[in-house]
């Protein structure tokens, strides 16, 4: 019997980073997405953007080697790549709002089969953590999401419709969870890759929306 292996957070980030194209300007949101900068790109140059004003950073800094002046939007210590820039917060958001980002990768509490997603307010929470997510969701040319497939209580995060307040409507194009890689299409979630040892029926039981299984479905390479 094949061992069942869910992707860890870095592996989710790595799989999304594989989809980045050479020369893209990519914003990485807080949480799993920040780990995308750790992925070693082969024959690609990716320019990473952080909303707090860092453009052109690289992997997260190793413990004990931190520069306390260099952090991403999540407060993690980062390295700078050759040609990197530190800009004013307003300039950083001007880049976002002017449509210059090729991609933003964000986390989410929920994502719907039509590309709606929710990532700023949980059920029962007073207020919320809006941050720059709404600007990014409508300002970037593409939106990818990285998240766990279910909550700690086993509640599905991939849904037919979002139950939480929506961040943006119809913008998510690619979703990677610890169980699968899903393309958001006009027909719904198309599962293109699956975690080792799992079958589509098992993933379906942990998904609120109906999954469409790609004819070329394959296991994650991890």
Average pLDDT of each block of 10 consecutive residues along the chain (222 residues)?
Answer: 90 98 96 96 96 96 91 93 95 96 97 96 69 92 98 96 95 98 97 97 98 97 82
Domains of the chain, first to last: 9-219 (3.40.1080.10)
Q: Does the predicted TM-score (pTM) go above 0.85?
A: yes
Look up residue 55 and give its two tokens: 């453009």
**Edge-to-edge strands of the sheet including 54-60?**
78-86, 54-60, 47-50, 25-28, 103-106, 143-146, 172-176, 180-185, 188-194, 211-219
The pLDDT value given to residue 121: 81
Q: Is there a contact between 113 and 160 (Cβ–Cβ < 8 Å)?
A: yes
Residue 51 falls in the annotated catalytic set:
yes
Catalytic residue among 40, 51, 113, 193: 51
Closest Cα to residue 143, out of 38, 26, 42, 36?
A: 26
């Amino acid at each position: 019997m094949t061992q069942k292996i869910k992707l860890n957070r870095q592996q989710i980030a790595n799989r999304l980073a594989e989809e980045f194209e050479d020369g893209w300007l990519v914003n990485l949101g807080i949480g799993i997405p920040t780990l995308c900068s750790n992925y070693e790109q082969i024959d690609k140059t990716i320019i990473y953007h952080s909303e707090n004003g860092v453009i052109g950073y690289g992997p997260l800094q190793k413990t004990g080697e931190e520069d306390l002046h260099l952090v991403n939007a999540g407060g993690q210590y980062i390295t700078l790549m050759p040609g990197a820039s530190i800009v004013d917060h307003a300039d950083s958001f001007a880049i976002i709002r002017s449509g210059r980002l090729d991609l933003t990768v964000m986390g989410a509490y929920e994502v719907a089969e039509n590309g709606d997603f929710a990532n700023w307010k949980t059920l029962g929470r007073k207020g919320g953590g809006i941050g720059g997510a709404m600007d990014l969701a409508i300002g970037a040319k593409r939106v990818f999401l990285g998240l766990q497939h279910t909550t700690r209580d086993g509640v599905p995060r991939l849904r037919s419709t979002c139950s939480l307040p929506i961040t943006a409507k119809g913008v998510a194009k690619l979703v990677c969870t610890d169980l699968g890689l899903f393309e958001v299409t006009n027909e719904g979630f198309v599962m293109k890759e699956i975690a080792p040892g799992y079958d589509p029926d098992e993933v379906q039981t942990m998904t609120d929306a109906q999954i469409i299984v790609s004819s070329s479905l394959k296991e994650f390479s991890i």
